[in-house]
């Protein structure tokens, strides 16, 4: 059982006058623990990982094969870049699905 939550940056839409454009931090100041959000929405997901949460909301598990690859080695492989992008995309998509319900 992995106790690390999956994290998603949520844009702060209430402050459009933020001048912190160099880092982007001003546009994403709130963090959401998607693992907790999914567990609140569907209690049976409380002890499940992101792949199972994907299966529940997107009807397809997330392939986590690259999760334990050599991320410190550069350049990243195409498979690592694809995994990282998909990992981020599914978090955003699941967040949208939960908030539409």
The pTM (predicted TM-score) of the whole model is 0.70
The greatest distance separating any two alpha carbons of the chain, rounded to the nearest whole angstrom, comes to: 42
* Integer angstrom CA distances of residue 21 from 18, 24, 47, 92, 93: 8, 5, 38, 22, 25
pLDDT, average across residues 55-70: 94
Share of the chain above pLDDT 90, in %: 61
Q: Which residue has the higher pLDDT, 20 or 64?
A: 64
Which residues, in sequence order, are bridge partners of residue 32?
8
- Measured between alpha carbons, how far is 77 from 20 in angstroms, rounded to an integer? 32
């Amino acid at each position: 059982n992995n106790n690390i939550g999956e994290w998603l940056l949520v844009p702060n839409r209430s402050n459009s006058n933020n001048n912190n454009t160099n880092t982007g931090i001003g546009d994403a100041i709130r963090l959401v623990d998607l693992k907790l959000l999914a567990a609140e929405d569907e209690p049976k997901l409380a002890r499940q990982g992101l792949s199972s949460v994907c299966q529940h909301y997107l009807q397809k598990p997330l392939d986590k094969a690259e999760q334990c690859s050599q991320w410190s080695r550069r350049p990243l492989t195409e498979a690592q870049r694809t995994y990282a992008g998909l990992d981020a995309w599914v978090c955003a998509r699941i967040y949208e699905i939960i908030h539409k319900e």
